[in-house]
């Protein structure tokens, strides 16, 4: 068990507050998740779910900043509640996450923190949902916190903090910060995370400056090359003719002898002049280009959660690219609609290799409208992808497999039984399960 954390409070719309208390333990040998959290006492399903999501969000943010903690089990004590007291709602998630983060990365001179915010997802930095009762919770923070304390709340509620509350925060020297995610609050509060962001920003700025220099140099070289080409072309053409006059062109009359004659209109130009403008050029070529232009099917995919939505966007992009390169399939399909669902996400830490291995299992259901007949249903068997790294690293390969399954069914290569998904030969022995 490790040291205690600085004070962090959960706020309630009733004006009450409870201090978060937690302990950290080394995981048992048979535990394979990098971080787990549980409530020591029964306080209701909402707070227990918030605790688990808070731990996942802290780990995901730490991994994104290159500061992943060692495998840990988090035990949240009964936070100032009487035995059997339940907590309704999940707005305590942000406070639970910040209490854990401050325990993992202790501050040299910690300041008290009060927070409220429901964590929408344990991934992607822990985005926060809008909550209710923000005004009452803000007033509770003013009454609770001493000077120099922090109050964090969802950015989606920022418009509800009126000028009177802002003035009260300033008078009590309380640093009130609206944040969009757990990661953003951690970057404000914890020095290790703010330094990681500053380093990343500095590297990005240096890369941007090098890119701008490269672009300027490329423009200068391109301009010089263009000038040289124009100069050579003018040298070959000879001096320009005065306005209204033609330049005599050298004509071979016999070997070794040249004579000049005035440039004359081409036969096609002369024929057009004799025709008195009756035969006009057509735009058949332009029309032909328009008729050959590619028309991709309308593709609309959605996800059942934030991470599933990101997977849906990747799958949609890959599916469009597949249609763009397959003319036969493109002509057959008018639209594809579907939903991506994450069935299971697992992460296992290998202490011997010091590497994280993740497994993502997904499902897809949808329908396709072809050029003939009613819409056809699409259904893929669950797709499982495993590999080293965080679960988000498996999304690209998962999207590729789902596109392969969708196009296989559309092309008639999939078995007649719904849900069958052939595994492409190219994916064998590359970490897919």
* In a domain? residue 268: no
* Per-residue confidence (pLDDT) for residue 79, from 0 to 100: 57
Same domain, 33 and 181: yes
Same domain, 175 and 217: no
Same domain, 163 and 233: no
Instruction: Supply the range of the domain harboring residue 25.
Output: 8-189
Same domain, 44 and 166: yes
* In a domain? residue 272: no
Span 317-327, average pLDDT: 85
3-class DSSP state for residue 181? strand
* In a domain? residue 230: yes
Same domain, 163 and 28: yes
Same domain, 309 and 373: yes
Q: Is the pLDDT of residue 361 over 80?
A: yes
| Strand locations in 262-332 (E) | 298-303
* Per-residue confidence (pLDDT) for residue 408, from 0 to 100: 87
Highest mean pLDDT among 48-57, 179-188, 239-248, 373-382: 179-188
Same domain, 228 and 313: no
In this prediction, residue 216 has a pLDDT band, given cuts at 50, 70 and 90, of confident
Asked which of 131, 158, 189 is the last residue of a domain, the reply is 189
Span 34-55, average pLDDT: 78
Q: What is the pLDDT of residues 174-184, one digit of tens each?
A: 999 999 999 99
In this prediction, residue 30 has a pLDDT band, given cuts at 50, 70 and 90, of low
* Per-residue confidence (pLDDT) for residue 31, from 0 to 100: 64
* In a domain? residue 270: no
* In a domain? residue 254: no
Same domain, 226 and 180: no
What is the domain-level CATH number for residue 412? Answer: 3.30.160
In angstroms, rounded to a whole number, what is the distance separating the alpha carbons of residues 134 and 118? 12
Angle at 163 (CA atoms; ends 162, 165), nearest 5 degrees: 70
What is the domain-level CATH number for residue 123? Answer: 3.30.230.10
pTM of the model as a whole: 0.47
Domain total of the chain? 3
High-pLDDT (> 70) share of the chain, %: 69
The secondary structure of 122-157 as a DSSP string is: SSTT-BEE--S-HHHHHHHHHHH--TT-EEEEEGGG
**End-to-end Cα separation, the chain, in angstroms:** 37
User: Of 186 and 26, which is predicted with more confidence?
Assistant: 186
Span 138-167, average pLDDT: 93
Tokens 């009359």 label which residue? 253
CA dihedral sign of residues 17, 79, 160, 168: positive
Span 311-334, average pLDDT: 86
User: Of 145 and 348, which is predicted with more confidence?
Assistant: 145
Q: Is the pLDDT of residue 127 over 90?
A: yes
């Amino acid at each position: 068990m490790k040291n205690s954390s600085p004070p962090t409070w959960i706020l309630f719309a009733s004006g009450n507050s409870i201090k978060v208390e937690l302990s950290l333990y080394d995981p048992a040998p048979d535990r394979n998740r990098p971080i787990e959290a549980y409530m020591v006492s029964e306080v209701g399903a909402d707070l227990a779910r918030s605790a688990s999501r808070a731990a996942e969000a802290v780990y995901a943010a730490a991994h994104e900043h290159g500061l992943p903690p060692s495998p840990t089990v988090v035990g949240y004590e009964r936070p100032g509640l009487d035995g059997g007291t339940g907590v309704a709602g999940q707005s305590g998630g942000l406070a639970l996450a910040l209490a854990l983060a401050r325990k993992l990365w202790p501050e040299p001179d910690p300041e008290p923190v009060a927070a409220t915010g429901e964590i929408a997802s344990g991934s992607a930095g822990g985005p926060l949902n809008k909550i209710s009762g923000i005004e009452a919770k803000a007033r509770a923070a003013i009454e609770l916190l001493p000077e120099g304390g922090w109050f964090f709340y969802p950015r989606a509620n920022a418009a509800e903090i009126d000028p009177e509350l802002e003035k009260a925060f300033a008078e009590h020297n309380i640093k009130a910060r609206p944040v969009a995610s757990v990661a953003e609050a951690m970057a404000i509060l914890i020095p290790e995370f703010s330094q990681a962001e500053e380093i990343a920003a500095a590297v990005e700025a240096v890369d941007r400056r090098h890119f701008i220099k490269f672009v300027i140099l490329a423009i200068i070289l391109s301009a010089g090359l263009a000038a040289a080409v124009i100069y050579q072309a003018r040298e070959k053409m000879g001096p320009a003719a005065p306005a209204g006059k033609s330049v005599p062109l050298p004509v071979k009359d016999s070997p070794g002898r040249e004579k000049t004659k005035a440039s004359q209109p081409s036969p096609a130009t002369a024929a057009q002049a004799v025709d008195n403008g009756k035969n006009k050029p057509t735009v058949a070529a332009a029309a032909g280009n328009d008729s050959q232009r590619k028309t991709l099917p309308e593709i609309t995919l959605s996800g059942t959660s934030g991470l599933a939505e990101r997977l849906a966007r990747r799958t949609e992009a890959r599916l469009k690219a597949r249609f763009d390169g397959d003319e036969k399939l493109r002509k057959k399909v008018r639209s594809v609609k579907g939903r991506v669902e994450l069935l299971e996400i697992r992460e296992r830490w290998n202490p011997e290799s010091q590497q994280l291995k993740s497994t993502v299992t997904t499902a897809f259901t949808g329908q396709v409208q072809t050029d003939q007949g009613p819409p056809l249903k699409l259904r893929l068997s669950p797709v499982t992808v495993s590999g080293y790294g965080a679960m988000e690293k498996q999304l690209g390969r998962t999207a590729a497999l789902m596109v392969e399954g969708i196009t296989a069914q559309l092309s008639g290569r999939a078995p007649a039984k719904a849900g069958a998904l052939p595994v492409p030969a190219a994916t064998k022995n590359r970490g897919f399960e």
